[in-house]
Structure 1
């Protein structure tokens, strides 16, 4: 595996070692391999890790498959993949509702990760999960295309530097914007579900913006400050406004769960360009 990156104009001066360790999060073991193998080139020339890099420099890393231990994914159906954005390092796709993000058993073949593996196979690339969406939820979801970028995207997610906005439709008339701050924990009686748990749960924060009030339902946008399992679903249900079509947290029948990851914004980890992707058409046109 060889990766060539041109450092953006915003890049500050630092050593190659500092770049690899602090910005690109290359594991210590892999940094050792790069040093021993002379696997780093700076502007085409073999480089030492103590050398200083500057904006506009070109860095090439030569890595071995064995440097990163990841299991291959069984190939699914590439035609199921709708690409919203793709480059050498990452891919954002529009997940359909009703399929899982990734397998829970090694022999599964019908998850989004399986389909994406089939899509990337002709390019000799493999997808890696950065975050997930519930099976019933549709919309924009981000995957790494190599193990090199995976920890960088993971850090962006942990530091809340990936903005995600959801569309949802809830039962009842929700008349004003609000922020929900309630702890969420596991349901002791149903392992599939989560509950509001003020004592033992993890803090969860959901910002809700009312888009359109109907006679029996309300269209809303949600932005998450935290990423707890079923967070939007549990928070809205706790207010007496469960999501339309939610098979776990309400009883009324509907064709699908009305929850859609509508847009995603973040700073590209290598180009430093502002990424802004929308998963159209969204719920309002369904």
Structure 2
């Protein structure tokens, strides 16, 4: 059995228990059902009905047992490989190095998720992914309770992800937006392509930061999270990323793509979380490439 205790912050309006779980925290229907039928939600240590009002400062207790969230375990990695940028009871953000997978493809494969789980001391959950070649800020859930809540924030574009990218060529516009649909490459399973007929919605906002000799440093902000989205959009418009092993022929020490900032409003505290990640290898690549 696992218990979570949350003190309500200054919520924007008066809510019932039902509204808090369903509309404010976006807890999935199945889990709400368990909480209700088992009477596993308390307000200020007292049993409540679904229509009980709650207010700022109330102490909410949520109780989960094995049936609600079956235990999941993965092999622990090396906690020393984790560069932690932010951590609380429910979430952890780390600075992923380039050349490391976010998660393994096989149960015994060791990747960043395994290292983060070792650092936390329990199995964590992937919220979003970074390509193996990409470095920077990446978010993990520390329990299955918060995972669907954070996933909903991601799906509704309430988690802002910004990347630095060093791209081929120059950009006459300071700002532009790519909206090309992205689909799978039928000829190479590793790659994605712009597919105007069958592709998925993909939106990348580009801001020119600095122009060098034949290359440009960009800030890329994502509204969607398609596989290789920035890489595909830029290469499609003849601005492939420097060092991209799949979409560019120009070699570099690393793929010049780094997730430098992650920001969102914490679903439980309503605190604005903004985390910035540095990368020595990206900075070195920037100095030696142009």
What TM-score do the two structures reach when normalised by structure 2? 0.92
Question: Shift in Å at residue 285 of structure 1?
Answer: 5.4
Question: Shift in Å at residue 4 of structure 1?
Answer: 0.6
Q: Are the counterparts in 2 of residues 12 and 55 from structure 1 also a CA contact under 8 Å? A: no
Moved more, 64-73 or 229-238: 64-73
Q: Are the counterparts in 1 of residues 235 and 241 from structure 2 also a CA contact under 8 Å? A: yes
2:191 corresponds to? 193
Q: Are the counterparts in 1 of residues 98 and 254 from structure 2 also a CA contact under 8 Å? A: yes
* Residues 198-246 of structure 1: per-residue CA shift (max 9 Å, x gap): 2221232211111111113211111112211111101111121110110
Question: Shift in Å at residue 281 of structure 1?
Answer: 4.4
1:268 to 1:205, Cα distance in 2 relative to 1, 3 A = same
Question: Shift in Å at residue 28 of structure 1?
Answer: 3.5
CA distance in 2, matches of 1:85, 1:215: 37
CA distance in 1, matches of 2:262, 2:152: 16
Question: Shift in Å at residue 32 of structure 1?
Answer: 3.4
* Residues 16-72 of structure 1: per-residue CA shift (max 9 Å, x gap): 122222222333443333334332221122333331111111101111133113531
1:284 corresponds to? 283
CA distance in 1, matches of 2:42, 2:196: 53
* Residues 106-147 of structure 1: per-residue CA shift (max 9 Å, x gap): 1112x11011111111xxx32111111111111001111111
Question: Given the alignment, which residue of 250, 253, 267 partners 1:252?
Answer: 250
CA distance in 1, matches of 2:109, 2:56: 45
CA distance in 2, matches of 1:201, 1:3: 41
Gap regions ≥5 residues in structure 1: none
1:218 to 1:87, Cα distance in 2 relative to 1, 3 A = same
Question: Given the alignment, which residue of 135, 149, 164 partners 2:161?
Answer: 164
1:239 to 1:56, Cα distance in 2 relative to 1, 3 A = same
Question: Shift in Å at residue 154 of structure 1?
Answer: 0.5
Q: Are the counterparts in 2 of residues 128 and 144 from structure 1 also a CA contact under 8 Å? A: yes
Q: How many pairs are equivalent?
A: 282
Gap regions ≥5 residues in structure 2: 286-290
Runs of 4+ aligned structure 1 residues displaced above 4 Å come to none
Q: Are the counterparts in 1 of residues 166 and 218 from structure 2 also a CA contact under 8 Å? A: yes
Question: Given the alignment, which residue of 143, 149, 154 partners 2:151?
Answer: 154
CA distance in 2, matches of 1:27, 1:191: 33
